[in-house]
């Protein structure tokens, strides 16, 4: 490749085309590719690389705690969940319809896994996603010293196509968090999709923000175009492990200490 062509590809920011051009020149000569086919192959290489880079950027921006797919979820452990039913959410209509999904159940049942899997699918479909622990949001709100800080905090959350708030309810939040949560949910209502996971039933959510009326307003918007799924069972993290209770009498304890 000539220095002039290399410089032009660099100026046009065609990095992948610049990288593969020499090899495609050789392949074109060997396979007797026409000019049109040769150009198409170069452009295709550049386009695919840009799409891959964009996907990586969106995945990084999403902030997922780990990788997860719906294929990795073991539905045999959660018979209350139907794969066919949940797959309805793994479609662009979940975002375009500004839908909501609430997953409730004890720790270790796969709520976060499903949320991440759905979020990942939306990223693959080209949508912007933000994943955030509810407690992280609460801590940031409490730490904010001005309205401008609150605005900077919530703007990315209300502008994304899908917002995922994970583990809502594991800790009771400060009173000032409730209004900000309402602001976020109200801003997303009928404009973007939302997923919430929680270990607390809906009936107790008002206690978490110390304002039942405010929480009713939040739930009203969440459930208008949303569905709630309750997960039941034992934690998958404890599968195959026996829970053993150790009991030691005082005499046994003393005798063990007396042994040399």
Q: What is the pLDDT of residues 143-188, one digit of tens each?
A: 999 999 999 999 999 999 999 999 998 877 788 899 999 999 999 9
Instruction: For residues 73 and 80, give the distance between their C-alpha atoms in angstroms, rounded to a whole number.
Output: 13
For residue 230, the surrounding DSSP H or E stretch is strand 226-230
Give the three-class secondary structure for 160: coil
Predicted confidence at residue 1, as pLDDT, reads: 61
Q: Which domains does the chain have, with CATH numbers?
A: 3-60 (no CATH), 70-238 (3.40.50.300)
Q: What is the pLDDT of residues 35-88, one digit of tens each?
A: 788 788 778 877 888 878 888 899 999 999 999 999 999 998 888 899 999 999
Ranges of beta strands (E only) in 22-75 are: none
Instruction: For residues 39 and 101, give the distance between their C-alpha atoms in angstroms, rounded to a whole number.
Output: 45
**Phi and psi, residue 205, nearest 5°:** -65, -30
The answer on pLDDT for 246 being more than 50 is no
Predicted confidence at residue 18, as pLDDT, reads: 76
This model's pTM is above 0.85: no
Q: What is the pLDDT of residues 182-237, one digit of tens each?
A: 999 999 999 999 999 999 989 888 888 888 999 999 999 999 999 999 998 777 65
Helices within 63-133 (DSSP H only)? 83-86, 93-96, 111-124
Q: If we measure between CA atoms, which residue out of 184, 181, 182 comes closest to residue 158? A: 184
For residue 177, what are the CA distances in angstroms to 22, 92, 141? Answer: 58, 31, 6
């Amino acid at each position: 490749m000539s220095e002039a062509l290399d410089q032009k590809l660099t100026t046009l920011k065609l990095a992948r085309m610049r990288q593969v051009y020499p090899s495609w020149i050789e392949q074109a000569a060997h396979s007797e590719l026409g000019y049109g086919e040769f150009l198409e192959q170069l452009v295709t290489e550049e386009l695919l690389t840009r799409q891959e880079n964009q996907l990586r950027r969106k995945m990084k921006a999403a902030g997922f705690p780990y990788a997860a797919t719906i294929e990795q979820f073991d539905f045999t452990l959660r018979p209350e969940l139907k794969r066919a039913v949940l797959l309805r959410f793994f479609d662009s209509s979940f975002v375009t319809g500004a839908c909501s999904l609430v997953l409730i159940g004890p720790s270790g049942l796969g709520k976060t896994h499903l949320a991440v899997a759905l979020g990942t699918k939306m990223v693959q479909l080209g949508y912007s996603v933000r994943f955030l622990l509810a407690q992280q949001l609460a801590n940031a709100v409490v730490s904010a010293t001005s309205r401008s800080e609150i605005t900077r905090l919530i703007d990315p959350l209300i502008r994304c196509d899908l917002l995922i708030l994970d583990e809502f309810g594991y800790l009771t939040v400060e009173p000032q968090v409730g209004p900000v949560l309402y602001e976020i949910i109200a801003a997303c209502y009928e404009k973007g999709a939302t997923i919430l996971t929680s270990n607390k039933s809906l009936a107790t959510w008002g206690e978490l923000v110390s304002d039942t009326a405010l929480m009713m307003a939040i739930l009203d918007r969440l459930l208008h175009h949303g569905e709630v799924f309750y997960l039941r069972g034992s934690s998958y993290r404890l599968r195959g492990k026996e829970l053993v209770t150790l009991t030691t009498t005082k005499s046994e304890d003393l005798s063990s200490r007396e042994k040399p």
